[in-house]
Structure 1
Amino acid sequence: MKKNDPYAALRFREFNIFLIVRFALVFAWSMQFVVIEWEVYSITKSALSLGIIGLMEVIPAVSMALFAGHIVDQKEKRGLLMLCIAGFSVISFGLFLITWPVFIKDLSKNTILYSVYALVFLGGIVRSFIGPTIFSLFSLVVPKKVFPNAATWSSSVWQMGAVVGPAVGGFAIHLIGVHWSMCLIFALSLLALFFLFQIPKKPILNPNLGEPVLKSLKEGIQFVRNTPVILGALTLDMFAVLFGGAVALLPIFAQDILKVGPQGFGVLRAAPAVGALLIMFTSAYFPLNKNAGMKLLAAIFGFGICIIVFGVSTIFWLSVVALFLSGVTDGISMIIRQTILQLRTPDAMRGRVASVNSMFVGSSNELGAFESGLTAKLMGTVTAVVFGGSMTIATVVTTGALFPKLRKLDLQKDLEAHEAENE
């Protein structure tokens, strides 16, 4: 491998297929969430209803997370991911039906709304398995010596899907309507399933197959708790995402504050992901491994500032720039966090650690959506967003003080150690 080769991970065929699958899934999932947000707000005109969408997904995602991690560590990863995608396809088809005028013509608005919530709830169950399964499969399709580079490309593809999904969602609502947008999402889930078949089955690297569930879960929690760098990174990101969840309120900003319609909504929704995508491609050439801890803290501090600026803005282009820069800072934190997890997690623990990660970070997206919806209801939309950004900044200061090992973290040393093992 060339030193600082920005394309090191892309030289492995299975990893490229893995990226296609991940892109299709993220594209479909993020587009689906945007379309659901638009439809629910159009039906209810309620900020709290937007928050409930997040709550309906976070309840099963958190409740099932640790159990899902145990299952992932015990099962073959590709086959398990196939089941997850099949489940997502069924949910997408259900949303396709519940937004079809012919199918719902005799249904009340409440019936439609509760049906959407129920399908989102089922999606939360599926998502609790998808996160740790993808995290574990990642380590089986690329050598450990290129993990940092692979983490950058994997995160970039995630963000690319997060860019295209919301943007296409916003424009698709305008061009073909909610119903046919859901049809496109269903087709993307089938595409992901098709490409996943191109990856062969993988070995199970857990030496403790058949281990009792409670013992397995306890080991996963203890590992995270006893690894300050991982615990600090997860805690920091959890609270940043929890309090910085302004994107959940974007339908309100697009429709009622900035008054830019579905096209402007698509631009606003995609702006953070465009910023994150830009920084991720840049980081392939200029790695973030050196002094990673301080870079992580600085990035999330900057994220909080961007959220505050977005909250007080009444100018469309300023709002777009603020969201774009929030994506840049969020992208930096995502790359560093994923690299920490991949380098510091043993193979046999990947499913459980990824599940703890999903409880801390992944589910905080939806919990953050609920927090934003609730605070918007209580404080007003603008005040809620400014409050969230301020709490994010406070979290950075507190975490930096409580976790000195995180402040001093330098991932370059971890990378050099792994390269030495493979020589």
Structure 2
Amino acid sequence: MTISEAMAGTPQRLRDQRDYLRLLGARVTGGAANQMLMVALGWQMYDLTASAWDLGLVGLAQFLPALLLTLPAGHLVDQRDRRLLLAASLGLQLMVAACLALSSAGAWVGPNMILALSILLGCARALQMPSQQALMPMLVTPALLPRAVAAASSTMQAAIIAGPALGGALYALGPWATGAMARGDAAHWGAAIVYGVSLLLLAVAITGVLTIRHRAAQPRRAAPDLAQLTAGIRFIWQRPVVLGAISLDLFAVLLGGATALLPIFAKDILHTGPEGLGLLRSAPALGAVVVGIWLARHPIARRAGHWLLGAVAVFGLSMIAFALSRSFLLAFAVLALSGAADMFSVVIRQSLVQLETPDEMRGRVGAVNSVFIGASNQLGEFESGATAALLGPVGSVLLGGIGTLAVVALWFRCFPALAQRDRLLPWG
């Protein structure tokens, strides 16, 4: 079944939400561009340094600015036009892609430049995630939101399938097509081609965001005092279901993620090239898109808390299996399973957060949520690189999978309200 078929099977009202579909298109093209950037950045950094530590630094460089800018970014999203803020964040990523393309084509790119531009990507993500999260509930009704989240997540995962696979193929095959292989500068030209295509996709995403017609009533603008800036933190802290769901994702992916180490697994353990790395990065999204399509037509009606905790446990088991695999096909399969499990977690968590949050708070809550997500992804990449430098890549991923299972057991005891949550809709 294709994504379009899944969308056709969702209620007519969701399919007819034109602004929602415009946002969906922008998320897909922007997400594909971001994934292509990450494939090229990871392979290029490892090609330049052959260091797991430096791969981890790329994630840390993206996380730190996002952490520092979280609170002001959330306040800004609740005070200004969310469309324009989202377009601005995509524009900053476009500038980074342009710099990487030019420096790679000119063969003057280096590890320090990659790290510096990764910091700018982190700044862009600090604004992109809360504005994107706060914009979606404005475009659909609350009753449609779980289906909208599932449909958006599945189409986004389709971009995450296509983005890394296309990025890896362009990185490997582009130099042949441009004649760079014969000139001896294949590595830099492969990266330059990927960055150039990412730039074009980001331009399409910006155009899509700017065509959204919905205008929310602007709240009375308030000065960003400490109470305003920390309102999102207090809101989450006072709601155990929201706090438990967000923190579960944080610690599970922080410990269990293996994305930063995929260049090492691809090159040194599974003995493949950048095209294989692209397929490995696409594998979790392949599993996720299948589950997302199913959830768009069959949203979870009961036992949401148990589904969430069980999905994270399956994610941890998948990481253990990936660490022990020596076959490319087996590694691909277990990564796809991890993505399928993660999709259950994403849809339940995002639906809970959005349904429990009033619109005037969505920017600040989304900003805090984005830090949790960023910590689990970018900081998780640094954690993976650091532990891999000490234990090796296999030991790092294996320890992370075991840690994820321990987190699930602990959260089941520490957040009983989350574990016992039955329906997603609080009034259902």
Q: Work out whether 1:241 is the aligned partner of 2:253.
A: yes
What are the residue-to-residue correspondences of 1:177-216 with 2, within 5 Å? 177-200=190-213, 202-204=215-217, 206=219, 208-216=220-228
Describe the SS at the equivalent of 1:380. helix
Instruction: Determine which of 242, 261, 273 is the counterpart of 1:230.
Output: 242
Asked whether the 8 Å contact 2:233–2:368 carries over to 1, the reply is yes
| Deviation, structure 1 residue 63 | 1.1
Take 2:199 and 2:408, find their aligned partners in 1: how far apart are those partners?
39
RMSD: 1.5
> Aligned AA for 2:132?
I
Q: Percent identity?
A: 38
Q: CA deviation at 1:285?
A: 2.0
- Which whole-Å CA distance do the structure 2 matches of 1:121 and 1:412 have between them? 36
2:32 equivalent in structure 1? 27
Structure 1 residue identity aligned to 2:396: A
Aligned residue in 2 for 1:155 = 153
CA distance in 1, matches of 2:289, 2:11: 15
Using a 3 Å threshold, how does the CA distance of structure 1 residues 212 and 193 change in structure 2: closer, same or farther? closer
Structure 1 residue 397, shift from structure 2 partner: 0.5
Partner Cα separation in structure 1 for residue 14 and residue 118 of structure 2 = 34
| Residues 235-288 of structure 1: CA deviation (Å, up to 9, x unaligned) | 100001101121211111111001022222121111111001110001122212
1:390 lines up with 2:402 in the alignment: yes
Gaps of 5+ in 2: 1-8, 175-189
Deviation for aligned residue 1:8: 4.1
CA offset at residue 358 of structure 1? 1.0
Matched residue, 1:121: 119
The residue type paired with residue 141 of structure 1 is L
Which structure 2 residues correspond to residues 217-366 of structure 1 after superposition, within 5 A?
Answer: 217-366=229-378
Name stretches of at least 5 consecutive residues in structure 1 with no aligned partner.
Answer: 417-423
Offset at residue 411 of structure 1 (A): 2.5
> Is residue 26–residue 158 contact of structure 1 (8 Å, CA) maintained in 2?
yes
Q: 2:393 aligns with which of 377, 381, 396?
A: 381
Q: Which amino acid aligns with 1:321?
A: A
CA drift of 1:7 comes to: 5.3
How far has the Cα of 1:211 moved from its partner? 4.1
Q: Which amino acid aligns with 2:373?
A: V
Measured in 2, the distance between the counterparts of 1:331 and 1:188 equals: 24
Structure 1: how far apart are the matches of 2:216 and 2:233?
24
| TM-score normalised per structure 1 | 0.93
Q: Shift of the alpha carbon at 1:10?
A: 1.9
CA contact (8 A) 1:205 1:348 kept: no
Query: Which of 47, 50, 63 is residue 52 of structure 2 equivalent to?
Result: 47
Q: Is the 8 A contact 1:275 1:326 kept in 2?
A: yes
CA distance in 1, matches of 2:38, 2:45: 10
Find the counterpart in structure 1 of residue 133 from structure 2. 135
Question: Counterpart of 1:79?
Answer: 84
Aligned positions, number: 405
CA distance in 1, matches of 2:21, 2:126: 24
Q: Does the Cα contact within 8 Å between 1:249 and 1:373 map onto a contact in 2?
A: yes
What residue identity is the alignment partner of 1:367? L
For 2:134 and 2:328, the matched residues in 1 are separated by 41
Distance 1:57 1:165 in 2: 19
Pick from 126, 144, 148 the counterpart of residue 146 of structure 1: 144
Indicate whether 1:63 and 2:75 are aligned: no
| Distance change (3 Å), C-alpha of 1:248 and 1:289 | farther
The DSSP-based 3-state class of the residue aligned with 2:215 is coil
Report how far residue 415 of structure 1 moved: 5.9
Q: 2:183 aligns to what? A: none
